[in-house]
Chains A and B, each alone.
Chain A
């Protein structure tokens, strides 16, 4: 069955400029996959988009319960959007728990499409419903459409070779087919993906294709589904785009950074949510010469990376909060060895195991100060999935130019969400090739702790280089020779030199771009993944006549040299953060000013509305 013929039956869809859709079901229902594929076909169609996956940390929480609900939200638009949307216009609920868990987020009047087969007594009870919401009029504020997704999937799969309980695994494709009909998405990208993923002759491919078409055709034939929608391609700046998630962009940024530095890439890592997919992605890219070392623990992950850095590779390690804590001692070693090392912390809600699949920015102060001894490090943050590539390259540039570990802060929201990314021309990417030292630098001697007068970086001479044999270590080093030294003055000198080297990076940071009303009395100052919500909230506030400026800070240590000027003269500096005010504390300490902290610690990103509401409140206060 070809998907082309079906478009003939299509009624004229209603043109809408944007829609927020949430696929929700049990964590075993394949909602992440359905959402991702819906996103992929929207991307191919040319919409702007942003996504927000949300899943329980348990692989399979008890089926049918609220705890087991997994969802995937996608915002598609025909214009340049920033966030995955605050409130869904449409919810696909595969069972009662999915309905119950997500109902409160919906817009009034939102469309709800339910898998009616799952609304039986048992599932209703598991979700905590006393009566069936499809029958008790409690959903009267919404537009509810039902489809017997399980029954129709079973029927559609007859003859595909897939039988028994496995049949119901295809019901997410039924839902995807139905949604593709409702929102005028092409089926072809999904069909191609299924064939590629499962193989043409695999009965599972046939089953998923059958379910996909059954869902689409149900839309054509069933009553109620004839009011369809269409979101036209977005007028994004001219160029070639791909739909990118943050962890993939980070992995690619490491490959590009290693290429720019002209070094082989080594990743020493240990699986941890939500960082693991960086390791997985790099493990797939061996033809780039990438070496991935899945270590026995977090400490060995960073330890192997330090060894690889000593041996002359671009070394990286990926982790999340608890892992960063375990790596702390080794990062201090790398700091005092003065070797380049990229430490990527994909932050999650803590402390301890916390909420591993939920977003938080609460490792900021740990990244800044979480080391023993005097050990300042550059800290770079990623603002969005599409920003991850260049932010990662920037971390590599700093690490190799200044011979230092760099902490790159990402988070669970950036890691798993996606957005269109305008592909850079590879020829235009920055290059910063590393030159290893191969000759003695002091008469016929090699002194490993001499310094470049400008950057204060020490030379990088790697094992295998004749005549430059030298020892490095965790003991204090003598200035120049690097020999073990306990002299009081030398320790002070070395401590100050190491700090001065990091501080000197300040001169190497581009000017801050202030967005919006640059001279406004109100500045929203953000860092990391709050970018999209802040920018959208500020845009909305300005559309509503407010005067607001926004600056998003990428370099958190050292801070940009012009930040003092940007902060100067503001009446209110609002710092929204997904933590309890850590960046606000840093700004207060550094500039002796009193910013206004807007802390959200709920494991979820900011909504644009929340930022706008804060701005409205501030404006009311200022004007009253």
Chain B
């Protein structure tokens, strides 16, 4: 973080390109949230790099007045890893979707998370292929009828948060496209985190998969279903916080606070070195249907890939001095002819 914080406005992060998502798309809200957040963050604009793959969300870098690359389907984490490793002073963001990150690019995602390379990965999960106009995605629920699953999808879906925790990501969070206040908090924590930060956005595709997250967004049901995770606080939810989460022998379970007592409610510990409880929390809802945790599941420290990479170079230079080409060419022995 810069000591000399620059004064930016959201407009400083808007490129001159017309934003071309469908009217009503959740991507607009996330774009606005990110631009507003970066203006507040104050890191020099030229230090931000946005790398995306392919898909609706992946047009994102074109709309950001920062350095950016709209790359190849699924490959953004690999390309971004190269950017971050080449220049650790940059702040590197990956913009991806459920098809991009979890289907064609699943391999790169888990390996970026495993390495703990300094990337902020924003996964826009709309549970559908939007750019290709409505085929089921790796997060679509079983039974979903789409153009490629007319009798209902038979694919069992990924839970992105479970997947990231399984890959031992050091920062894993979930938020909602339309909840800009919560998004800002999560982005701030992710920016603060050293290492890979993974954020799943529940993002509504109002054209091909409208209301996929309605249980979390409608006025009537959202208080029943949004379970906010706050580090150090008991996990409570419901219009009057009358429900809570308890970690039982078989995992996370929903309980009524009045029946079990507040002391039985799990106090959220995002700093838990083991990802087990966070994983249990991630299993609470599928789809999502019913009470669904939002917030930071896990935020732990582990050595960052670039630090180790640069550290080895510095160690080698301390031992051997800065490389000398003439010495290198002679390093396996030479002979001289006259």
Contact = CB atoms under 8 A, between A and B. Distances in A.
Interface of A: 40, 43-46, 189, 233-244, 248, 252, 255-256, 259, 264, 266, 268, 285-291, 293, 295-297, 299-300, 303-313, 315, 329-330, 333, 337, 423-424, 426, 429, 462-475, 483-484
B323 A296 contact: no
B189 to A, nearest CB: 24
From B51, B65, B313, B334, name the one whose CB has the most chain A CB atoms within 10 angstroms: B334
B61 A473 contact: yes
Given A288-B328, A471-B67, 16 more contacts: A46-B335, A252-B325, A266-B86, A286-B317, A297-B107, A306-B82, A307-B51, A307-B84, A308-B82, A333-B72, A426-B325, A426-B329, A463-B49, A463-B90, A468-B46, A471-B70
17 contacts: A239-B336, A241-B334, A248-B332, A252-B328, A285-B328, A286-B317, A293-B309, A296-B107, A303-B81, A304-B78, A304-B81, A307-B79, A311-B83, A333-B72, A473-B69, A473-B71, A474-B54
Interface in B56-106: 61-62, 64-72, 75, 78-87, 89-90
A252 to B, nearest CB: 6
A463 B87 contact: yes
Interface of B: 15, 17, 44-49, 51, 54, 61-62, 64-72, 75, 78-87, 89-90, 107-108, 111, 309, 312-313, 315-317, 319-323, 325-326, 328-330, 332-338
Contacts of B111: 295-296, 300
B335 A464 contact: no
B89 A464 contact: yes
A464 B79 contact: no
A464 B72 CA distance: 23
Contacts, number: 215
A233 B338 CA distance: 11
Closest 5 CB pairs of A and B: A307-B82, A473-B70, A288-B323, A303-B78, A304-B82
Contacts of B338: 238
A466 B12 CA distance: 13
A522 to B, nearest CB: 34
A484 B45 CA distance: 22
B326 A307 contact: no
A291 B313 contact: yes
Nearest to B68: A471
A305 B337 contact: no
Contacts of A313: 86-87
Nearest to A285: B323
Contacts of B312: 286
Contacts of A469: 45-46, 65-67
Given A287-B313, A291-B313, A470 B67 contact: yes
Contact of A243 (B316, B317, B326, B332): B332
A409 B183 CA distance: 49
A222 B228 CA distance: 86
Contacts of A473: 61-62, 68-71
Contacts of A315: 82, 86
A252 B327 CA distance: 11
Nearest to B108: A300
B89 A308 contact: no
Contacts of A312: 86-87
B47 A463 contact: yes
From A234, A285, A471, name the one whose CB has the most chain B CB atoms within 10 angstroms: A471
Contact of A330 (B70, B72, B315): B72
B72 A474 contact: yes
A552 B67 CA distance: 43
Nearest to B318: A287
Contacts of B66: 469
From B61, B321, B335, name the one whose CB has the most chain A CB atoms within 10 angstroms: B335
Contacts of A423: 329-330, 334
Given A287-B321, A464-B89, A471 B83 contact: no
B329 A308 contact: no
A9 to B, nearest CB: 26
Nearest to A465: B46
From B67, B108, B317, name the one whose CB has the most chain A CB atoms within 10 angstroms: B67
Contacts of A337: 69
From B15, B89, B337, B338, name the one whose CB has the most chain A CB atoms within 10 angstroms: B337
A44 B46 CA distance: 54
B337 A238 contact: yes
A268 B335 contact: no
B232 to A, nearest CB: 35
B8 to A, nearest CB: 12
A233 B337 contact: yes
Nearest to B84: A307
Contacts of B321: 287
Contact of B81 (A307, A466, A483): A307
A317 to B, nearest CB: 10
Contacts of A259: 325
A304 B322 CA distance: 25
Contact of A484 (B62, B80, B329, B335): B62
Contacts of A466: 44-46
Contacts of B51: 307
A463 B92 CA distance: 10
A266 B337 CA distance: 36
A299 B78 contact: yes
B47 A304 contact: no
Given A240-B336, A426-B329, A463-B46, A264 B89 contact: no
